[in-house]
Amino acid sequence: MEANTQAVNLYHLKNDCIIPVFSKDNEKTIAHQEFIDVVMNAAQKVFPIQSITEPEIRVSHQIKGRTPDAIHLNVKDLLDHQKTIYYERMAFIIRIPGITDIVNGNELSLTIGGVRSYNLENLYNKKTLERIKFFIGFQNQVCCNLCVSTDGFKEDMRVSGTQDLYSKALEVMQNYNAELHLNEMKELTHDSLSEHQFAQLIGRSRLYQHLPKPEKQNIPLLNFNDSHINTMAKDYYEDKNFCRQEDGNINLWSVYNLFTQANKSSYIDTFLDRNLNAFEFSKGIQKTLNGNSSYYWFLS
């Protein structure tokens, strides 16, 4: 993830950032560091004999403030202890390096993570159920692209507190079928698009953004914009890991990774949704190549 984000560590979140509250009752939100700690504890419960890496964290939309004693100071005169910050949006992953597999020569490592966006909460009201995005899936180690499937992703997990979050994260991890997810990804290597079909896919994807609403409703969702599609077209020729073959063909595993590679330019709050859509879309194109017509429009 690269768009408008910066890497931070857990120490920074715990020691340098204030915790937002719901203003009408002063109840605290689930802090970013609490979210991460809860997920790490749940992961240790589900995978007790596996080692878990330190979290990799990216944040954006810094919210700045100052302490009362600094009310009359100019910005340039503020001391560090007079500045307050927190981040509106945060995404993190932890890896379980002991659980890996190989797809098309790429090593995949089991990965768990989540996204938190305070902009989805009404912080000017009383405390309500808070919204969390949580996933368990695999990360392609050759390029760090995430691979997320339907049963490993909760787009709108609503929780009342850290204990509720722990229980629901535990449930997602326990119900996730890693073997099925891996098999579905391996199956993508069995089908390919010709250069003409890939060009058709790129062109139709550009048209999709501008379709009249009634027509768009009859076509499966593609949650990628023109900028993403342009990146895919460029990487079809230039990406060192997933570019076309010498004859112009490209297998659907590579197409899927072109999607997830382009997705790195998405903002934190749309990153996981698009990641899942990339997987569903790639499977849909595969079904079309094998006789299912629900995604036929993109190749026609």
Q: What is the pLDDT of residue 182?
A: 97
Query: Are residues 85 and 169 part of one domain?
Result: yes
Query: Are residues 152 and 66 part of one domain?
Result: yes
Please name the residue that has the structure tokens 């934190």.
268
Query: Are residues 229 and 144 part of one domain?
Result: no
Residue 18 falls inside a structural domain: yes
Q: What is the pLDDT of residue 67?
A: 83
Residue 184 falls inside a structural domain: no
- 254-260 — which CB contacts under 8 Å span 24+ positions? 254/104, 255/188, 255/193, 255/198, 255/201, 255/282, 255/285, 256/147, 256/185, 256/188, 256/282, 257/140, 257/143, 257/145, 258/231, 258/232, 259/224, 259/228, 259/232, 260/140, 260/145, 260/146, 260/147
Query: Are residues 119 and 241 part of one domain?
Result: no
- Domain of 206 in residue numbering reads as 191-298
pLDDT, tens only, 126-149: 999 999 999 999 999 988 999 999
Indicate the residue among 154, 177, 200 that finishes a domain: 177
Query: Are residues 131 and 75 part of one domain?
Result: yes
In order along its 300 residues, the chain shows pLDDT tens digits of 666 889 999 999 999 999 999 988 999 999 999 999 999 999 999 999 999 999 999 999 999 888 888 888 888 888 888 888 999 999 999 999 999 999 999 999 999 999 999 998 888 899 999 999 999 999 999 889 999 999 999 999 999 999 999 999 999 999 999 999 999 999 999 999 999 999 999 999 999 999 999 999 999 999 999 999 999 999 999 999 999 999 999 999 999 999 999 999 998 889 999 999 999 999 999 999 998 888 999 998
Helix (H) / strand (E) containing 110: strand 106-117
Query: Are residues 166 and 196 part of one domain?
Result: no
Residue 185 falls inside a structural domain: no
Residue 186 falls inside a structural domain: no
Q: How far apart (Å, rounded) are the C-alpha atoms in residues 244 and 237? A: 6
Residue 291 falls inside a structural domain: yes
Residue 292 falls inside a structural domain: yes
Query: Are residues 88 and 140 part of one domain?
Result: yes
Indicate the residue among 177, 210, 243 that finishes a domain: 177
Q: How far apart (Å, rounded) are the C-alpha atoms in residues 255 and 231? A: 12
Residue 182 falls inside a structural domain: no
Q: How far apart (Å, rounded) are the C-alpha atoms in residues 25 and 115? A: 25
Residue 147 falls inside a structural domain: yes
Indicate the residue among 177, 203, 223 that finishes a domain: 177
Using CB atoms within 10 A of its CB, is residue 189 exposed (0-12), middle (13-18) or buried (19+)? Answer: middle
Q: How far apart (Å, rounded) are the C-alpha atoms in residues 264 and 254? A: 16
Query: Are residues 213 and 168 part of one domain?
Result: no
Helix (H) / strand (E) containing 102: strand 83-103
Query: Are residues 155 and 43 part of one domain?
Result: yes
- Radius of gyration from C-alpha coordinates of the chain: 21
Distances in whole angstroms, Cα of residue 104 to Cα of each of 92, 236, 250, 282: 26, 17, 12, 16
Q: What is the pLDDT of residue 81?
A: 81
Beta bridge partners of 89: 60, 117
Query: Are residues 131 and 18 part of one domain?
Result: yes
Query: Are residues 124 and 257 part of one domain?
Result: no
Domain count, the chain: 2
For residue 80, the tally of other CB atoms under 10 A from its CB is 6
Query: Are residues 84 and 39 part of one domain?
Result: yes
